Amino acid sequence: MKTQLAAMNVKMHGRTIKRDLSLYIMSVPFILAYILFAYKPLTGLIIAFKEYNLFEGTYSSPWVGLDNFRAFLGGPYFSRTFKNTLILGALGILFGFPAPILLALMINEVRVKWFQRTVQSITFMPYFVSTVVVAGIVVNILSPSTGVVNKILGLFGAEPIYFMTKPEWFRTIYIASGIWQFSGYNAIIYIAALSAVDVQLYEACIIDGGNKFKQIIHVTIPGILPTIIIMFIMDIGNIINVGYEKIILLYQPATYETADILSTYMFRSGIQDGEYGVATAVGLFNSAVSLLMVTATNMLCRKLNNTSLW
């Protein structure tokens, strides 16, 4: 009996493979690309445990064990970079995460279709602006001599503020420019989720006397809550992976106090100082902390709301 069942399963799998053969063939390039560009580079992580020499190569360089991790964790910049990374990531969650949700809710409530599409397109376009261009726009707007912000402050008799050299202003500038650049793009996900909310729920809420605000609180937000939770888990996983490109373009030694993060320290160690082992150790530490954070958040969300990534 078991032999017959096994034979039937093999026959069914064979039919399935034959039926979907074209799909399997189409997936081969993507699988190969993923192996080459995602999994193959993981072998380079052993550099974190070696005194890497460019001429000896990855596998011939001498092993140093955990010395690179000790050099980083016991160094003078660990506490500053780790603290700044967590603060920037937390501020991004606090202010950047709700922004696309609010934008999607507002766009969803617009009933004039042409205006709705126009607003959505305008808020979406900054996503396609290069990070270099965004940094240039920020620097020009905040320029103490020609910047729009200081021009407006000058109308009220205020002295020009050198925003880009003030450590206390860097986090505000970074978070605000990120909200402007990515809110429209991220709002698309929530707008798509809003389109799946049952219209009858709104009608029931109206019959029960619910105004527009109560419809949003009791129908709209619960309807897109699974999407919000999934996006929240993914953002928590990236809380420590703060992008270094824009920071490198915006920061300077005067703002290292609040701007220097793990990624920028890794960039300086590896590219500028040639300490490839330390830079790889920083990257591995960064990835390990991100994995722990996203796993813990996923477990918590699954326990509280029964919604999770896995």
Per-residue pLDDT reduced to its tens digit, 211-262 = 888 888 888 888 888 888 888 888 887 777 777 788 888 988 889 899 989 8
Residue 17 and residue 11 in contact, taking contact as beta carbons nearer than 8 Å: no
Q: Which two tokens stand for residue 273?
A: 């100082």
Sign of the CA dihedral 258, 259, 262, 268?
negative
List of E strands, the chain: none
Instruction: Give percent of the chain above pLDDT 90.
Output: 21
Let me know how many helices (H) and strands (E) the chain has, helices first: 16, 0
In this prediction, residue 5 has a pLDDT band, given cuts at 50, 70 and 90, of: low
Neighbour-count burial for 167-194, b at 16+ CB within 10 Å, e otherwise: eebbbebbbebbbbbbbbebbbbbbebb
Please tell me the predicted confidence (pLDDT) of residue 263: 87
Is the confidence at residue 154, as pLDDT, over 60?
yes
Decide: residue 104, CB within 10 A, 0-12 exposed, 13-18 middle, 19+ buried. buried
d(C-alpha 168, C-alpha 257), whole Å: 9
Q: Which of 101, 106, 81, 65 is nearest to 277 (CA)?
A: 65
CB atoms within 10 A of CB 2: 6
* pLDDT at 2 exceeding the cut of 60: no
User: What pLDDT sits at residue 83?
Assistant: 92
pLDDT (tens digit, 9 = 90+) per residue, 52-95? 887 888 888 889 888 999 988 888 889 999 999 989 988 989 99
What's the CA gap between 144 and 10, in Å, rounded? 73
Give the residue with greater pLDDT, 50 vs 239. Answer: 50
By CB neighbour count within 10 A (0-12 exposed, 13-18 middle, 19+ buried), where does 58 fall? middle
Q: Is the pLDDT of residue 151 over 70?
A: yes
Query: Can you say whether the dihedral through the CA atoms of 123, 129, 134, 140 is positive or negative?
Result: negative
Predicted pLDDT at 7: 60
More confident residue, 6 or 106: 106
The pLDDT score that the predictor gives to residue 10 is 63
Nearest to 280 by CA among 35, 39, 58: 58
H-helix or E-strand containing 303? helix 276-305
pLDDT band at 8 (very low <50, low <70, confident <90, very high): low
Give the mean pLDDT of the chain.
86
Judge whether residue 98 has pLDDT over 90.
yes
Residues 6+ apart with CB under 8 A from 103: 123, 183, 184, 187
CB-count burial class (<10 Å; 0-12, 13-18, 19+) for 132: exposed
How confident is the model at residue 9, as a pLDDT? Answer: 66
**272, 157 in Cβ contact below 8 A?**
no
pLDDT in tens, 24-33: 888 899 999 9
Report which of 81, 41, 67 is spatially closest to residue 265, judged by C-alpha positions: 81
pLDDT value at residue 212: 81
pLDDT for position 310: 73
pLDDT of residue 207: 84
What is the pLDDT confidence band of residue 4, given thresholds at 50, 70 and 90? low
